[in-house]
A and B are shown apart, each in its own frame.
Chain A
Amino acid sequence: MRSYLLLLLFVMAGLVVAFAPLPVQPIMPQERTFRIEARQFAYSPSEIEVNPGDRVTIQLVSTDVVHGLYIDGYGISVEADPGQSATLTFIANKSGSFRVRCNVTCGAMHPFMIGKFTVGTNDWFYRSMGLAMLGVVSIFPLSSFLTQRKKKEERSGAGD
């Protein structure tokens, strides 16, 4: 019974770690402009970071073939012809880390042409670390719970 309660406590703690809102420090939104060069099969810079609420302008410049830039989570994209540039402007109103992908077939490694766009801190990564830590510690009540259940099953089996 005690290990069952302990396990329940771990599950609840896990839910808190995963979903509890975190305090956010208010930062004045800014205008942020990035020039991203796209080539087969990489972006340069490949990682950009902004603050929540920033007005972001991405100037995509393709240096070889036609490339695109699609931001997961935001669902917005832009395409640039070879030697040309194209611009995408949006408000970074979703926090977290998002993958940036080429959305125009540009060659063999096209599905793996990936970059990273981070708004604020990558909260989910830290939450995941917390969950992993809780998971490791929970193994002790979990195994005690499973052992108790097995013994109970064996006893009821012997009773039959």
Chain B
Amino acid sequence: MSRIELTGNPFVKSALKNRWPQLAVFIVMLAGYLFAILAGLVGTQVGSHNFSIVFVWIAWWAILILVAVPFFGRGWCAVCPIPLPGEWLQRGAVLHPPRKKPKWFNLRWPRAFRNIWLQNISFLLLALFSSVLLTTPNITGIVLAGMLFAAIGLSTVFERRAFCRYLCPVGGFIGLYSQTAPVELRIKDKQVCATCEGKPCYNGSANGYGCPWDVFPGGLTKNTYCGLCMECIRTCPHDNIAVNLRPFSADLARPSTRMDEAFKAFIMLGSAMIYAGVLLGPWGALKDAAYNVGTSAWFIYAAVFLGVIFVIMPSLFALCISRFENLNAFKKRFATLSTSLIPLGLMFWVAFSLSFVLTNATYIFASLSDPLGFGWNLFGTANVTWQPMLTSILAPGQTLALVGGLIWSARTAQKAANEAKTSLIPVIVYCFITTLVMLWLLL
């Protein structure tokens, strides 16, 4: 399947170029986000009856991991409300670029941190406290507010969307998995960008802002760092930017050689497995350890969590693919081959989320009518009783996701192994064993 240019359709193109439709979605999202903070802080502290828990960790998570990331890549980032207030402040405008820019510090992000290691750390910080975060409304409210204020603070100090690009705990894995999505933003003709004067897509113009994600669209080869904000479509004076429909995982044909991205793949794969065991497994002691933050059991849990992700899983992978060569060559091969784990990781999260979401989805109806747990019944659904949904198709659905992910990863391993000029068998064996462990944890 070749690419289909969606922006070739005049209606799609004008809808993407126009700022109003995006602003309308932004306002709804921002209102929902602020309400989630409010609900977390002032609503009932019974998680399953609080809007912040139910709509963030069940509804939003389901949409994100089951629909948005697999099919639209960074589609969520295109409408995420977190960077908005900071960006409006930084730009001194809500819509079109103003004549006079506000005087913020506008610093470049430090070179040493121009990678996703900080996103890896921020994700792990939330992951270590996830049992409390996912179940305690005021913690969720505080974390959501913290992210909003961090984004505002960074916008006043650094240029562009520093929070989204380098710090957002969610943005890191969305970027990684967006490489598998069948949607991309790319230039149409490289030569046009090479000769373009002033590069308004990166530097901005009267028609729009320079790329908020600090990306020069002319050099885009993968989805990882493009936030689909559509600014470059507005600023390009040569109509050289296109949004395309393409085959799934097209970006993975060119594997990354970066260690921060390689470790992101291990972090996500390992976290999905640990969550499946701790949150969905029948082992009460594990749940106690994960929930009772600050106790010795929690410290052991945290050490095991980090040990599995940073030591055990990468070491086993390294052992599988090891051969005599210098360290730099090995690191490059390690990073290249770990690209194969991206589809598997995504499908691990799909399988994990299916169980979590289908069994808790009925809370959405109750929370819609009584979002703060104050005894309201706005839409007559406050008393909908909890009932797991579609449990008969849950196990087959999870198997389909995991086996599909394994085949997808094996296919990616073929391409990565060709690139690294090595055998694909060890990578497939590694993927196969991790899939069996995940099947055992979920079924």
Stretch at the interface among A26-34, A52-60, A80-88, A104-112: A104-112
Q: Fill in one digit per residue for A50-80: 1 if any B CB lies within 8 Å of its CB, else 0.
A: 0000000000000000000010110000000
Contacts of A47 in B (CB 8 A): 282
Query: Does B374 interact with chain A (Cβ within 8 Å)?
Result: no
Contacts of B360 in A (CB 8 A): 111
Closest residue to A38 on the B side, CB-wise?
B284
Given A128-B399, A132-B432: A109 and B411 interface contact (C-beta under 8 Å) = no
Say whether A109 contacts B135, CB under 8 Å. Answer: yes
Question: How far does the Cβ of B412 sit from chain A's closest Cβ, in whole Å?
Answer: 10
A-B pairs under 8 A by CB, number: 117
Stretch at the interface among B89-97, B174-182, B220-228, B388-396: B388-396
Say whether B439 contacts A108, CB under 8 Å. Answer: no
Contacts of A114 in B (CB 8 A): 280-282
Complex CA gap A132/B388 in Å reads: 27
Complex CA gap A39/B386 in Å reads: 20
Complex CA gap A151/B224 in Å reads: 29
Query: Does B407 interact with chain A (Cβ within 8 Å)?
Result: yes
Complex CA gap A146/B402 in Å reads: 21
Say whether A139 contacts B414, CB under 8 Å. Answer: yes
Closest residue to A41 on the B side, CB-wise?
B287
Query: Does A92 interact with chain B (Cβ within 8 Å)?
Result: no
Q: State how many residues of chain B have any CB contact under 8 Å with chain A.
A: 47
Q: Fill in one digit per residue for B87-114: 1 if any A CB lies within 8 Å of its CB, else 0.
A: 0000000000000000000000000000
Question: How far does the Cβ of B320 sit from chain A's closest Cβ, in whole Å?
Answer: 14
Closest residue to B433 on the A side, CB-wise?
A132
Say whether B282 contacts A43, CB under 8 Å. Answer: yes
Q: Which of A112, A131, A139, A146 contacts B410 (CB 8 A)?
A: A139
Q: Which residues of B contact A (CB under 8 A)?
A: 2, 46-49, 131-132, 135-136, 278-285, 287-288, 291, 356, 359-360, 386, 388, 391-392, 394-396, 399, 402-404, 406-407, 410-411, 414, 428, 431-432, 435-436, 439-440, 443
7 A-B Cβ contacts within 8 A?
A42-B288, A101-B388, A109-B291, A128-B402, A132-B432, A132-B439, A139-B414
Q: Which residues of A contact B (CB under 8 A)?
A: 18, 39, 41-44, 46-47, 70, 72-73, 96-97, 99-101, 103, 105, 108-116, 122, 124-125, 127-129, 131-133, 135-136, 138-139, 142-143, 146, 153
Known: A115-B282, A135-B407. 13 other contacts (CB 8 A): A42-B283, A46-B282, A72-B388, A101-B359, A111-B360, A112-B279, A114-B281, A124-B396, A129-B436, A132-B403, A132-B439, A133-B432, A136-B431
